Amino acid sequence: MKKTKRKLVLVGNGMAGVRAIEHLIKLAPEAYEITIIGAEPHPNYNRIMLSSVLAGGASLKEIVINDWEWYKDNGIRLLAGHRVTQIDANRKRVVSDQGATVDYDELILATGSNPFMLPLPGADKEGVIAFRDIKDCETMVDTSKKYKKAVVIGGGLLGLEAARGLLHLGMDVSVVHINPYLMERQLDETAAKMLQKELEQQGMKFLLRKNSGAILGKKRVRALSFTDGTEAEADLIVMAVGIRPNVELAKSSGIEINRGIVVNDWLETSVERIYAVGECAEHRGIAYGLVAPLYEQGSVLAKKLAGLETTGYAGSVTSTKLKVSGVDVFSAGRYDEPEGSRSLRYQDEVDGVYKKIVIQNDKLIGAVLFGDTNDGAKLFSIIKSGESVVGREKELLLGMAVSGQSASPEARLKEMADEEIICGCNGVSKGTIADAVLAKGCMSVGEIKACTKASGSCGGCKPLVEGLLKLYAGDEAGVGVKEGICGCTPLGRDEIVAEIKRMRLKSIKEVMNVLEWRNSEGCSKCRPSLNYYLGMLFPEEYVDENESRITNERYHANIQKDGTYSVVPRIYGGVTSPAELKKIAEVAEKFDVPMVKFTGGQRLDLLGVKKEDLPKMWEELDMPSGHAYGKTLRTVKTCVGNTFCRFGTQDAIGMGIRLEKAFERLNTPAKVKLAVSGCPRNCAEATIKDFGVVAIDGGWELHVGGNGGVQVRATELLCVVKTEDEVVEWASAYLQYYRENAQWNERTSTWIERVGLEEIKNALEKPEDRLALVERIQKTLSLTTDPWKQIVENDHLRKNFEPLTEALTINS
Binding-site sequence positions for [4Fe-4S] cluster: 639, 645, 679, 683
Task: With CA atoms as reference, report the closest residue to 304 among 271, 270, 276, 262.
Answer: 276
Scanning 638-766, the segments in alpha helix (DSSP H) are 652-663, 724-741, 748-755, 757-765
Of 285, 325, 283, 319, nearest to 300 by C-alpha is: 283
Closest CA to 203 of 235, 168, 238, 241: 168
Phi, psi of 80 (to 5 degrees): -85, 145
**DSSP-assigned letters across all residues of 505-538:** --SHHHHHHHTT-SSTT--TTHHHHHHHHHHHH-
What are phi and psi for residue 432, nearest 5 degrees? -65, -40
| DSSP track, 418-465 | TTSEEETTTTEEHHHHHHHHHTT---SHHHHHHHH-TTSSS-TTHHHH
Q: Is 325 left (phi over 0), alpha (psi -120 to 50) or beta?
A: left
CB 221 within 8 A of CB 127: yes
Residue ranges for the known binding site are: 639, 645, 679, 683
Q: Nearest CA to 244 among 118, 130, 116, 154?
A: 116
Burial degree of 520 (CB within 10 A; 0-12, 13-18, 19+): exposed
Segment (H or E) for 254: none
Q: What is the Cα 492 distance to its own chain's centre? A: 21
Binding residues for siroheme are 683
Residue 390 DSSP symbol:
T
What is the rounded CA–CA span in Å between residue 73 and residue 107?
22
Contacts of 646 (CB under 8 A, 6+ apart): none
How far out from the chain centre does Cα 636 lie? 32
CA proximity to 496, closest of 529, 539, 525: 529
**Backbone torsion region of residue 439, taken as left when φ is above 0, otherwise alpha when ψ lies between -120 and 50, otherwise beta:** alpha
Rounded CA gap, 118 and 368, in Å?
30
- Which helix (H) or strand (E) segment is 603 a member of? none
Q: Are 303 and 310 in contact (CB under 8 A)?
A: yes
Of 612, 624, 524, 533, residue with least CA distance to 572: 624
Burial of 544: CB neighbours in 10 Å, binned 0-12, 13-18, 19+ = middle
* Cα torsion 200, 203, 204, 210: sign: positive
